[in-house]
Amino acid sequence: MEFKILGSGGAFPTPRAFCQCEICVEARSTGKNKRNSSCFFIKDINGLVDCPEDINDSLNSHFIEKVEHVFITHFHPDHTFGLRVLLESVYDYYTKTQEIPVNVYMAENVYESLKKIFLAEFLFEIKKKGNLIFIKNNETVHINNTIVTAVGYQGDNSEVYAFLFEKDNQKALYAPCDTIKFERSSEFINLDLLVNEIGIFSHDICKKEISFPDLMTRLENMKPKRIILTHIEECELRKWGLEHLENLKKKYPQIPFEFAHDGLDINI
């Protein structure tokens, strides 16, 4: 299977508007360490996991020519608010039809939450600019030779999902956000690939996100063959510095993780 990280940032991408820290200034002027919000492209099926506000830039920057499937992990804006841009990019305003049909998969309760903060009902039910498909915990979708499974963090009533991709006896799990709630993580042992949120360095201040030490303990138990950490927040980089990332690799040499960057190609 072939994947690409289109966005490795978090709710606040890098560079952050107005910020004059060293990281943002360099990202703004040279593109180095530029991070759009989290988005994952599955080349085998022309699929995306999540659709953040800066999706147009991510798709153009990495020369993505077609998207036919979108899998939504949860309703947060940095994972969903690009749906209008994406769906209207393949919509013909003269004929009022989809030029390229796009299937959008999400849990029904995720959709109900999304409708409260976003124009989801307008897009899917009124204008019909995408094919909305409800997917349940542990439900599978077969696309070409790839099997996609919705993985509810807390089972059937989950508000946040990961997605498992399987092909030719290879397994890759994408879990980009809110993994503090991932009660089922112990079910996924010896994955060929795990792309997971990086967690929070400032865990003494922020208790609503998984701490980096707790994440390391979880990864030791899961034992993935390859680990890529994503959803790297601009505010954390600004506070801790880029050198902190390398220091963490030295601190946990027994865990083979690497840090995602925009445009990272992954083959398993």
Which residues, other chains included, contact 170 with Cβ-Cβ below 8 Å and sequence gap of 6+?
1, 192, 193, 268
End-to-end CA distance of the chain: 5
Following CA atoms 174, 109, 79, 217 in sequence, which dihedral angle do they give, to the nearest 10 degrees?
Answer: -40
107: left (phi over 0), alpha (psi -120 to 50) or beta: beta
Query: Residue 110, SS3?
Result: helix
Per-residue confidence (pLDDT) for residue 206, from 0 to 100: 79
- Model confidence, pTM: 0.96
The H or E element that residue 165 is part of is strand 161-167
Cis peptide before 15 (omega within 30 of 0): yes
DSSP letter at 153? T
Cβ pair 100, 65 in contact under 8 A? no
Per-residue confidence (pLDDT) for residue 148, from 0 to 100: 98
Per-residue confidence (pLDDT) for residue 119, from 0 to 100: 85
Report the residue count for the chain: 268
Q: Where are the domains of the chain?
A: 2-261
Query: Residue 73, SS3?
Result: coil
How far apart CA 142 and CA 146 sit, in angstroms, is 6
Could you write out the DSSP letters of every residue in 1-23? Answer: -EEEEEE-B-SS-BSPTT--SHH
Class of domain 2-261: alpha beta
Per-residue confidence (pLDDT) for residue 246, from 0 to 100: 94
Q: Is 182 exposed, middle or buried (0-12, 13-18, 19+ CB in 10 A)?
A: buried
Six token digits for residue 77: 């804006």
Following CA atoms 265, 237, 25, 54 in sequence, which dihedral angle do they give, to the nearest 10 degrees?
Answer: 50
Q: Tens-of-pLDDT digits for all 268 residues of the chain?
A: 999 999 999 999 999 999 999 999 999 999 999 999 999 999 999 999 999 999 999 999 999 999 999 999 999 999 999 999 999 999 888 888 888 899 999 999 999 999 999 989 888 987 888 999 999 999 999 999 999 999 999 999 999 999 999 999 999 999 999 999 999 999 999 999 999 999 999 988 877 899 999 999 999 999 999 999 999 999 999 999 999 999 999 999 999 999 999 999 999 9
Cα→Cα distances 222→159, 179, 207, Å: 22, 14, 23
